[in-house]
Amino acid sequence: MFKITPTNKEFSKEIIHKINNKTKPLGSLGTLEIIAKKLCLIQNTLTPKLNKPTMLVFAGDHGIVKNQPVSSCPQEVTHQMVLNFLEGGAGINVFCKQHGFDLSVIDAGVNFEFESNKKLINAKIAYGTKDYSLAPAMTKEQCEKAIKIAGEIVVEKYVNGSNIISFGEMGIGNTSSASLLMSAVTKQSIESCIGVGAGLTEEGLSKKIDILTKVQQLHGVSENPLENLQNFGGFEVAMMTGAMLKAAELKMTLIIDGFIATSSLLIAQVINKNIIDYCLFSHQSNEQGHIKMLKFLNVSPILHLGLRLGEGTGAVIAYPIIQSAEIFINQMASFESSGVVNPVQ
Ligand SMILES: O=C(O)c1ccc[n+]([C@@H]2O[C@H](COP(=O)([O-])O)[C@@H](O)[C@H]2O)c1
Ligand SMILES: Cc1cc2nc[nH]c2cc1C
């Protein structure tokens, strides 16, 4: 379905040679060195460039929220926050403005009729998913459509010159989807995958665990990642999966943000494991399952700031660090060019 070529690891030696010959003690730029190496591998060059950073925020509603107390927030907050994105007042707006990101907001399936707006991409699959405590969240056709449309949005950004992209989301109830997907992919117990989301009390959390345990019993877990997406997904979650797969196929650098975005990646990496070669991980969410997701993927996040907002905010906040990696590998002097003695030789 997606042709994602693994990066050429044989090139690593040359990259490490370039990094080790910068005028610094060996390894002294720590994580920046790891990021720089990854950028070189992704772009297959010793002089990687970051062009037109892009943030796609996908919004969708979840049928279960109307019927079951899985979230501390009412469903209406999803569309209210989309209106806030369009006004420029949300966290993701201000951070995108700070760091020069091109931000697009996508209606993946919000339970609201938006007036047409230049800033909103209308990709509405339906007015929210079905309540998956009763039936699968979406049909196979809806799931496939979500993946395809999101890929088309990424292609448009790529054609306009972007080579680094991230994926944010807004959807009341979507930590429930993420937990169900996480449990299905990682085979960890559903209880161990569930957290407070936008702000449940302890009592609320225990109800969420009961509800989602029954949801998992109803549908079971599948070995087929798309079946899990259909049963438990949100439209925004499915679109992030499709967008990530297409971006990796196009050899863009993907910045993977919090708990829900990482659940989309969990599905994507079952579809094509090579996608991981193209991913940087921006921060570790305070949602308790996220640390386990990152451990499962055997990856380390750039930041630990205790964020759990979503919207892709962690990715944009981490961007200046990724830029610093690109700048040092391109602009720092080497021992050869500077006359500084290499203490390692
Ligand atoms: O990105 C995260 O790690 C994250 C962790 C917890 C909550 N959120 C945000 O909170 C909303 C979902 O929370 P909930 O409790 O309604 O499932 C959704 O809009 C997410 O963007 C996001
Ligand atoms: C206000 C608010 C903003 C959000 N942004 C992402 N998820 C959110 C959840 C709430 C409740």
CA of 198 to the centre of ligand 1 (A): 5
CA of 22 to the centre of ligand 2 (A): 43
The per-residue pLDDT for 259 is 98
Check if the beta carbon of residue 311 is closer than 8 Å to that of residue 168: yes
We report the CATH number of the domain holding residue 205 as 3.40.50.10210
- Domain assignment present for residue 332? The answer is no
Q: Which domain holds residue 188?
A: 54-327
The per-residue pLDDT for 344 is 87
- Domain assignment present for residue 337? The answer is no
- Domain assignment present for residue 128? The answer is yes
State if residue 326 touches ligand 1 by the CB under 6 angstroms criterion: no
Amino acid identity of 295?
A: K
The per-residue pLDDT for 321 is 98
The per-residue pLDDT for 345 is 67
State if residue 46 touches ligand 1 by the CB under 6 angstroms criterion: no
Percent of the chain residues past pLDDT 70, beyond the cut: 100
- Domain assignment present for residue 299? The answer is yes
The ipTM (two decimal places) reads: 0.99
SS3 106: strand
Question: Is 311 labeled as catalytic in the residue annotation?
Answer: yes
- Domain assignment present for residue 39? The answer is no
For the record, the structure tokens of 145 come out as 């459509």
- Domain assignment present for residue 24? The answer is no
Spans in the chain with pLDDT lower than 70: 345
- The H or E element containing residue 213 is helix 202-219
Q: What is the dihedral of CA 225, 228, 230, 234, to 10 degrees?
A: -100
State if residue 71 touches ligand 1 by the CB under 6 angstroms criterion: yes
Question: How many independent structural domains does the chain possess?
Answer: 1
Amino acid identity of 128?
A: G
Check if the beta carbon of residue 290 is closer than 8 Å to that of residue 208: no
- Domain assignment present for residue 202? The answer is yes
State if residue 79 touches ligand 1 by the CB under 6 angstroms criterion: no
The model's pLDDT over 5-61, given as tens digits with 9 standing for 90+, comes to 999 999 999 999 999 999 999 999 999 999 999 999 999 999 999 999 999 999 999
Which of 77, 83, 308 is the best mutation target for the ligand 2 pocket, counting ligand atoms within 8 Å of the beta carbon and taking the most?
77
- Domain assignment present for residue 41? The answer is no
